[in-house]
Amino acid sequence: MKSRHLSIIAKKEFRGLLSERTILLAVLLQLFVALFSSFLMVGLTSMYDPASLSKYSHFRYNVGYAGNDSQVLSYLYASPDFRVYRMDLSTGVAALKERKLAAMIWVPDTREAAQDPVKITLYTLQNDLQSAIVDVKLKDIFLRYEKDLRQVRADRLSEQPMPLEIPPSRGAGEFFEFVYGLLIPLLVFMPAIIASALIIDLITEEYQHDTLETLVSTPVTFSEMVWGKILACEVLVPVQAGIWLLLLMVNGIAIQNAGLILLHVTVSSMVLILLGALTALHYRERTAAQFIFSTALVVVILFSLALPSNPMNLLTRLSVGMAGTEQWLVLAAVAGVVVILAYATQKYAERISRINHTG
């Protein structure tokens, strides 16, 4: 196998990638995610934790208040997040529908020392992002008022509740979970998945376009043709992943062990690319090969995620500088799988080459 022939095939495939619109759109999508990761972090975390939005909002919201002059009113006036307007309930609800108010609060005439519970009614807009932020900010005020009520009515308790010592939150949990648990592994492994799907297209198109006979009639052998395409896909992975890591760093995200991350991704991507190459060599038809490979890829990903030191977990720990010596064991295991798949790919390519020459 000659390196010159491999480079010729790889260069040919690189030039052909410029006409692959699907691949270019996928790269542009990842570029958008990497460039605007901070913006996306705010939007995606709000989907599963609306309370995280409150820390990013410093706007003063107009709130209507009706009913009894309770301690809630004092807390609202003291809060820097709200402008409070006293008004009738019907007037406040009408203003809320016209979006002149962010919320409307009605407090009944029930006294704090009364036997009946105090039922405060909160009116907000449904399915509104602003309402989610206002709800979180008002929740703090309501909790303070609830604490006051508990103190006033403490003599009614027949049993003393057990105090719970909950450690204080350090904050920034949503940012850490999104960036280091999802964003970095997603951006870094996505080039490997794209490259593994790309190798199927590069091999099967030689069969579908009837260019295989012309290609093998040149000094380039069938095995060199296959490995040249594999080389082109493999080179794309560390280059693209390195650009994403650089863009994340420019975005203000601290990433440790960037070199080790690229090393692990490069070796791991070779497993997916070789699996894609074997699938393409066996089926030789793009639709069938892509379907079988996609199904197998889901199984491989689920199996790897079930392992304690799976690649996603390892990348997260590497990016925060907390990976131990087990990373080298994982790297050695993945490299062993690469050697086995590379041997199988070479033997399969040689077998197909002999069949073609015989035919």
Using pLDDT thresholds of 50, 70 and 90, give the confidence band for residue 193.
confident
In the numeric block, which tokens belong to residue 275?
């699996």
The pLDDT of residue 49 is 54
Q: Do 100 and 204 belong to one domain?
A: no
In the numeric block, which tokens belong to residue 56?
């990013």
The pLDDT of residue 251 is 73
Sequence letter at residue 65: Y
Q: Do 143 and 180 belong to one domain?
A: no
Could you tell me which of 60, 85, 71, 39 has the C-alpha nearest to residue 137? Answer: 60
Give the side-chain half-sphere CA count within 13 A for 80: 4
* 26 vs 122, higher pLDDT: 122
Q: Do 23 and 89 belong to one domain?
A: no
Q: Do 187 and 58 belong to one domain?
A: no
In the numeric block, which tokens belong to residue 11?
């260069």
The pLDDT of residue 66 is 93
Question: If you average pLDDT over residues 318-337, what whole number do you get?
Answer: 85
Beta strands in the chain (DSSP E): 61-67, 82-86, 103-107, 121-123
Residues linked to residue 9 through DSSP beta bridges, in sequence order = none
On the question of pLDDT at 53 being above 60, the answer is: no
In the numeric block, which tokens belong to residue 319?
């990016």
- Give domain status of residue 167, yes or no: no
Which residues fall within 8 angstroms of residue 251, CB to CB, at 6 or more apart?
34, 35, 37, 38
Question: Last residue of a domain, which of 85, 113, 148?
Answer: 148
Report the sign of the C-alpha dihedral through residues 257, 179, 315, 28, in that order.
Answer: negative
* 25 vs 305, higher pLDDT: 305
On the question of pLDDT at 21 being above 60, the answer is: no
- Give domain status of residue 101, yes or no: yes
CB 102 within 8 A of CB 131: yes
User: Measured at the alpha carbon of residue 230, what is the angle toward residues 195 and 269, in degrees to the nearest 5?
Assistant: 45
Could you tell me which of 35, 34, 24 has the C-alpha nearest to residue 184? Answer: 34
pLDDT exceeding 90 applies to what percent of the chain?
A: 16
Give the side-chain half-sphere CA count within 13 A for 252: 6
Q: Do 119 and 207 belong to one domain?
A: no
Using pLDDT thresholds of 50, 70 and 90, give the confidence band for residue 343.
very high
pLDDT exceeding 70 applies to what percent of the chain?
A: 75
Which residues constitute the domain of residue 110?
52-148
Kindly report whether the global pTM for this prediction surpasses the value 0.95.
Answer: no
* 290 vs 155, higher pLDDT: 290
The pLDDT of residue 168 is 60
Q: Do 124 and 254 belong to one domain?
A: no
Q: Do 203 and 333 belong to one domain?
A: yes
On the question of pLDDT at 285 being above 80, the answer is: yes
> Which DSSP string do the residues of 103-136 spell out, in sequence order?
EEEEE-S--TTSSS----EEE--TT-HHHHHHHH
CB 222 within 8 A of CB 353: yes
Q: Do 186 and 251 belong to one domain?
A: yes
How far is Cα 241 from Cα 195, in angstroms, rounded to an integer? 12
- Give domain status of residue 43, yes or no: no
- Give domain status of residue 45, yes or no: no
The pLDDT of residue 65 is 94
How far is Cα 9 from Cα 233, in angstroms, rounded to an integer? 11
Q: Do 211 and 241 belong to one domain?
A: yes
Could you tell me the end-to-end alpha-carbon distance of the chain, in angstroms, rounded to an integer? 23
Report the sign of the C-alpha dihedral through residues 80, 81, 85, 88, in that order.
Answer: negative
Q: How many domains does the chain have?
A: 2
- Give domain status of residue 349, yes or no: yes
Q: What is the pLDDT of residues 262-275, one digit of tens each?
A: 998 999 899 999 99
Question: If you average pLDDT over residues 44-69, what whole number do you get?
Answer: 69
How far is Cα 278 from Cα 344, in angstroms, rounded to an integer? 8
The pLDDT of residue 150 is 85
- Give domain status of residue 163, yes or no: no
Q: Do 111 and 143 belong to one domain?
A: yes
Sequence letter at residue 27: V
Of these ranges, 9-18, 37-46, 92-101, 280-289, the one predicted with the greatest mean pLDDT is 92-101
CB 34 within 8 A of CB 247: yes
CATH code at position 132 = 3.40.190.10
Q: What is the pLDDT of residues 233-242, one digit of tens each?
A: 888 888 888 8
| Distances from the Cα of 352 to the Cα of 231, 356, 359, angstroms | 19, 6, 10
The pLDDT of residue 16 is 64
Question: If you average pLDDT over residues 66-91, what whole number do you get?
Answer: 90
Sequence letter at residue 99: R
* 204 vs 132, higher pLDDT: 204
- Give domain status of residue 64, yes or no: yes
The pLDDT of residue 41 is 54
The pLDDT of residue 274 is 92
Q: What is the pLDDT of residues 299-318, one digit of tens each?
A: 888 887 777 777 778 888 88
Q: Do 326 and 179 belong to one domain?
A: yes
Q: What is the pLDDT of residues 126-178, one digit of tens each?
A: 766 677 778 888 888 999 999 888 888 887 767 666 777 766 655 555 567 66
On the question of pLDDT at 122 being above 80, the answer is: yes
